[in-house]
Amino acid sequence: MTALLYILLAIVIAVAIWQVASILKLKSVIATEKDNNIQGILFAVFGVFFYGLMIFSFVKYSALLLPDAASLEGERYDTLYMVTMVLILVVQAITQFLLFYFAFKYRGVKGTKALFYADSHKLELIWTVIPAVVLAGMVLYGLSVWIDVMDSSDAENPLIVEVYAKQFQWEARYAGKDNELGLANVRNIKGINTMGVDMSDKNALDDIPVRELHLPKGRKVIFKFRSQDVLHSAYMPHFRAQMNCVPGMVTQFAFTPSMTTEEMRLNEKTIAKVDNINEIRAEKGEDPYEFDYLLLCNKICGASHYNMQMKIVVEEEAQFNSWLNSQKTMAQVVQ
Amino acid sequence: MSDHHHKETFVTKYIFSTDHKMISKQYLVTGIFMGIIGVFMSMLFRLQIAWPERSFSIIEAFLGHHQDGGVMSPDIYLALVTIHGTIMVFFVLTAGLSGTFSNLLIPLQIGARDMASGFLNMVSYWLFFLSSLLMVISLFIEAGPASAGWTIYPPLSALPQAIPGSGLGMTLWLVSMAIFIASSLLGALNYIVTVLNLRTVGMKMTRLPLTIWAFFITAIIGVVSFPVLLSAALLLIFDRSFGTSFYLSDIFIQGEVLHYQGGSPVLFEHLFWFLGHPEVYIVLLPALGITSEIISTNSRKPIFGYRAMIGSIIAIAFLSTIVWGHHMFVSGMNPFLGSVFTFTTLLIAIPSAVKAFNYITTLWKGNLQMNPAMLFSIGLVSTFISGGLTGLVLGDSALDINVHDTYFVVAHFHLVMGVSAIYGMFAGVYHWFPKMYGKMMNKTLGYWHFWLTAVAAYGVFFPMHFIGLAGLPRRYYSNTAFPLFDDVADVNIVITLFAILGGSAQIIFLANFFISIYKGKKAEQNPWRSNTLEWTTPVEHIHGNWPGEIPAVQRWAYDYSKPGYEEDFVCQTTPLKEGEEES
């Protein structure tokens, strides 16, 4: 019933708008010189709004952005990002200016005629070749970063970790002493063996299942992703890392953590961001928040998609090793 | 074949009409109706995003058992974003935009009595109507409509155990889309054949208005890519209903192992995006074509670089079919493929840049007539640039990693295809309303409509980039599970307020549109003093478009302000003067 009322309200508003328009004798339909003038000026005003919004957003919202990258690969990512962003903003500033300025400057005046100017091969050549050259540079630079990030074949003594996704939680498994993950398949899932590890595979026995991800600083980590049910995406924004988890296949991503959790907490940008968040939380009467790295699900996966997360702790290698040694292996867990 | 002789009944004139002008209006009104649903849904889920725990009576009123005390459930939230996307992309911006203006303008602007097959054209509309009906019906079923995202990636879309919307809701979605594809293929084939075969005397391909070029190329992309979506949907139906394993493998859900073995969801992603990316241009190219026509007419200047514009349409269309992988950089696809798709994707920026610069140059030293259609066209160029530029981030495989599936993407595609295409659609409605209904729309309401929409659109989507860069994933029912995102809550409120402003502003358009049909000022034959053929037809619609002979075309469509002529426009039917060069 209330739904009907809302619809009626919208119709009433629509009719009211038209009635007001009719009362004001707005039967005129084609732009006059006066309209051209007003609307042209409005485009100039809109241009000011546009640049204002842009500057305002950059000043006000830059504090929201992620802090410095916490991985070596992420640092290259951030540089590429900065270069691209500067390029985008320069082009944006120039083209939008020309657009709004021309809309203002050349607003129609009665009795004048536009310039008949249909073609200029020179101009068109310029704005074909310049973007082409700039883009060629961007492609080469982008691909060098891409290859650097995606190719982990030459990593020395990488840490192998399996990240396992299911509705709506994450699990993980370290490859253990042999640094080789045992085989696994959902058909082996039974009781406490929640990741379906194949216990008849001898590589599996020393694997270490965990519910919280710990990573050593300075050592390359190769993640192997699996999913138990639907698509998920393992998103680790602080490390500039993301890969989908696909049922029926193993996907891979690798990075080298470059800042421990402690170091990140002391990072200037992190402190500023956390302070800001805690001010907001204090207003709402919530407990203060302490920074932690996170793994989030970033592929729609069902009702609780919005709350599928796992904490990541980055620590010095020695600390990491002692933590890992204190965890139970698959053999210990299952038996 | 000017058939004044056979009498038309109400049914053949208004319902099962084979007249392209009537079919065009049917597409438009259906598209507007679907648009109201799609936009309204976005208002509802924006309320949830901005105020996650608050109760709203409007949510209580519309969401039935999918809400509890005015707070929507996570499942219906996902359903709303799914159906919003589906309706806006396919039903409004594909059928509503292309269906309306291709049907209206192709025969009128090329000088044809009707489409090549009026009957197929009618079938095409009624299939579209049927698919719209099914989509709307799916909103009312017990378990809720499809809710796996508009990209309906399996296994989520294949397993009712995974999400309730993947039961009957998903079945209806798939059937509706299959019918929709049939409709759009019939339409597209008709457009292609008509443009190739039914041009009037003198209407060489190089004299076609850019609108027609855009519709023509769009139809070709549709014919190339839509069948692939149909196969993707059919295979998904097989997996869902007949136990095949095209997309599914090794699944354990709700305590049991499913029998599926050997399929891959990545295959579905390839098939989906093989349509999905060209779809972006199926949506956008008609809007750009409309804009070319309107900017030129209202600048009283020839469109700058006519041949380059055609070239860039063709280049964009070609490239659009070989870039789909940029939606899949982190899907588990081989990284080498990622490199190839980065290369092809960034190439698209070149023809796009050419188009943007050509529009801006067309304005330069023009005599701009600020009609509502012109405002929307200038607005389109602005959002096309703003949204297109961030494509440099998303098209670059390396940079995509960290913004993939965040709000940065949402902001990008809404600006570049959502807002731009809808601006193109509005521009087209304001411009060709006199041709469709023989009446004029009110300009003052048009101005209000444009400025409120323009402010709201940037107000919504500009800040949205930042919350994406903050790492906020899209399709989150609420951000309260992460203290990390507490600082974006304020931004989300700002965005929602602008969204409500923008949504409400559309009421002005609806009022203007529907009431102008009945009460609008009667249109003159050529209100915008335009060159193209549609304005040589009588205001009152007749079957066959022109009362006598179809006029012959003597020149291209863009002789505005040509030296040597007193008026600032020269109709395409005006013969060249002696010694006059055709541009």
Task: Give start-end residues of each CATH 2.60.40.420 domain in chain A.
Answer: 159-334
Distance from CA of B216 to the nearest CA of A (A): 23
Residues B326-345: what's their mean pLDDT?
A: 94
How far CA A62 is from CA of A99, A280, B120, in Å, comes to: 27, 17, 54
Question: Using CA atoms, how far apart are residues A230 and B162, in angstroms rounded to an integer?
Answer: 8
With contacts defined as CB-CB under 8 Å, which chain A residues touch B148?
A: 300
Are residues A302 and B515, on separate chains, in Cβ contact within 8 Å? no
Give yes or no for a contact between B491 and B407, defined as CB atoms under 8 angstroms apart: no
Whether B34 shows a pLDDT value over 90: the answer reads: yes
Are residues A61 and B253, on separate chains, in Cβ contact within 8 Å? no
Q: Note whether B532 and B502 are same-domain residues.
A: no
Are residues B308 and A15, on separate chains, in Cβ contact within 8 Å? no
Report pLDDT for A23: 63
ipTM of this predicted complex? 0.94
Q: Fill in the DSSP letter of residue B161.
A: T
Residues B150-172: what's their mean pLDDT?
A: 95
Question: Using CA atoms, how far apart are residues A203 and A153, in angstroms rounded to an integer?
Answer: 21
Look-up of token digits 């800042």: A259
CB contact B273 to A (< 8 Å): no
Is position B173 within any domain? yes
Least confident of A109-113, B109-113, B235-239, B560-564: A109-113
For B407-431, the pLDDT digits (tens) are: 999 999 999 999 999 999 999 999 9
Q: Note whether B456 and B329 are same-domain residues.
A: yes
Overall size of chain A counted in residues: 335
Half-sphere exposure at residue A82, Cβ-oriented, CA atoms within 13 angstroms: 7
Q: Which of residues 182-241 of B touch A (CB under 8 A)?
A: none
For B59-82, the pLDDT digits (tens) are: 999 998 999 999 999 999 999 999
Question: Using CA atoms, how far apart are residues A159 and A179, in angstroms rounded to an integer?
Answer: 7
Report pLDDT for A24: 59
Report pLDDT for B2: 44
Is position B75 within any domain? yes
Whether A225 shows a pLDDT value over 80: the answer reads: yes
For A47-103, the pLDDT digits (tens) are: 999 999 999 999 999 889 999 999 999 999 999 999 999 999 999 999 999 999 999
Residue A1's pLDDT band (cuts 50, 70, 90)? low
H or E segment and range at residue B434: helix B420-437
Question: Using CA atoms, how far apart are residues A185 and A250, in angstroms rounded to an integer?
Answer: 11
Residue B519's pLDDT band (cuts 50, 70, 90)? confident
With contacts defined as CB-CB under 8 Å, which chain B residues touch A187?
A: 250, 252, 257
Are residues A116 and B462, on separate chains, in Cβ contact within 8 Å? no
Token representation of residue B247: 């997309």
Report pLDDT for A3: 75
With contacts defined as CB-CB under 8 Å, which chain B residues touch A277?
A: 483-484, 486-487
Q: Fill in the DSSP letter of residue B90.
A: I
Residue of A nearest to B156 (CA): A230
Token representation of residue B44: 């509802």
Residues B335-343: what's their mean pLDDT?
A: 94
Determine the residue among B484, B521, B530, B580 to mutate to test chain A binding: the one whose Cβ has the most chain A Cβ atoms within 10 Å: B484
Half-sphere exposure at residue B454, Cβ-oriented, CA atoms within 13 angstroms: 28
Question: Using CA atoms, how far apart are residues B583 and B576, in angstroms rounded to an integer?
Answer: 11
Residue B492's pLDDT band (cuts 50, 70, 90)? very high
% of chain A at pLDDT higher than 90: 82
Report pLDDT for A19: 74
Nearest to B306 among A118, A139, A146 (CB): A118
Whether B8 shows a pLDDT value over 80: the answer reads: no
Report pLDDT for A149: 92
H or E segment and range at residue B453: helix B443-469
Contacts of B268 (CB under 8 A, 6+ apart): B153, B154, B232, B235, B236, B246, B247
Residue at which a domain ends, from B152, B170, B201 = B201
Are residues A249 and B266, on separate chains, in Cβ contact within 8 Å? yes
Are residues A124 and B358, on separate chains, in Cβ contact within 8 Å? yes
Give yes or no for a contact between B528 and B267, defined as CB atoms under 8 angstroms apart: no
Residue at which a domain ends, from B153, B180, B201 = B201
Give yes or no for a contact between B567 and B530, defined as CB atoms under 8 angstroms apart: no
With contacts defined as CB-CB under 8 Å, which chain B residues touch A120?
A: 304-305
CB contact B475 to A (< 8 Å): yes
CB contact B398 to A (< 8 Å): yes
CATH topology of domain A159-334: Immunoglobulin-like (2.60.40)
With contacts defined as CB-CB under 8 Å, which chain A residues touch B512?
A: 17-18, 21
Are residues B357 and A127, on separate chains, in Cβ contact within 8 Å? yes
Is position B232 within any domain? no
Domain containing B34 equals 14-201
Report pLDDT for A8: 80
CB contact B244 to A (< 8 Å): no
With contacts defined as CB-CB under 8 Å, which chain B residues touch A235?
A: 405, 471, 473
Distance from CA of A326 to the nearest CA of B (A): 29
Report pLDDT for B3: 47
Q: Which of residues 542-561 of B touch A (CB under 8 A)?
A: 558, 560-561
With contacts defined as CB-CB under 8 Å, which chain A residues touch B253?
A: 167, 228-230
Are residues B477 and A305, on separate chains, in Cβ contact within 8 Å? yes
% of chain B at pLDDT higher than 90: 93
Q: Note whether B453 and B582 are same-domain residues.
A: no
The rounded mean pLDDT for chain B is 94
Report pLDDT for B25: 96
How far CA A304 is from CA of A294, A297, B55, in Å, comes to: 17, 10, 20
Whether B1 shows a pLDDT value over 50: the answer reads: no
Are residues A139 and B346, on separate chains, in Cβ contact within 8 Å? yes
Determine the residue among B360, B490, B565 to mutate to test chain A binding: the one whose Cβ has the most chain A Cβ atoms within 10 Å: B360
Distance from CA of B549 to the nearest CA of A (A): 30
Question: Using CA atoms, how far apart are residues A152 and A304, in angstroms rounded to an integer?
Answer: 33
Is position B213 within any domain? no
Report pLDDT for B583: 72
For B243-268, the pLDDT digits (tens) are: 999 999 999 999 999 999 999 999 99
Distance from CA of B462 to the nearest CA of A (A): 7
The rounded mean pLDDT for chain A is 92
Give yes or no for a contact between B69 and B60, defined as CB atoms under 8 angstroms apart: yes
Distance from CA of A179 to the nearest CA of B (A): 22
Residue of A nearest to B520 (CA): A27
Are residues A88 and B491, on separate chains, in Cβ contact within 8 Å? no
Q: Which of A106, A67, A3, A18 is nearest to B484 (CA)?
A: A67
Distance from CA of A57 to the nearest CA of B (A): 6
Whether B149 shows a pLDDT value over 70: the answer reads: yes
Q: Note whether B300 and B331 are same-domain residues.
A: yes
Give the count of Cβ contacts less than 8 A between chain A and B: 420
Give yes or no for a contact between A98 and A105, defined as CB atoms under 8 angstroms apart: no
Residue A108's pLDDT band (cuts 50, 70, 90)? very high
Distance from CA of B29 to the nearest CA of A (A): 16
Whether B5 shows a pLDDT value over 60: the answer reads: no
What are B71's strand-pairing partners? B68
% of chain A at pLDDT higher than 70: 98
Number of domains in chain B: 3
Residue at which a domain ends, from B477, B508, B539 = B508
Q: Note whether B502 and B526 are same-domain residues.
A: no
Is position B373 within any domain? yes
CB contact B249 to A (< 8 Å): yes
Is position B361 within any domain? yes
With contacts defined as CB-CB under 8 Å, which chain B residues touch A242?
A: 330, 401-402, 404-405
Q: Note whether B394 and B478 are same-domain residues.
A: yes
With contacts defined as CB-CB under 8 Å, which chain A residues touch B360?
A: 95, 98-99, 102
Residue of B nearest to A242 (CA): B401
Report pLDDT for B527: 95
Residue A306's pLDDT band (cuts 50, 70, 90)? very high
CB contact B416 to A (< 8 Å): no
Residues A160-189: what's their mean pLDDT?
A: 94
Whether B271 shows a pLDDT value over 90: the answer reads: yes
Q: The CATH number of the domain where B334 resides is what?
A: 1.20.210.10
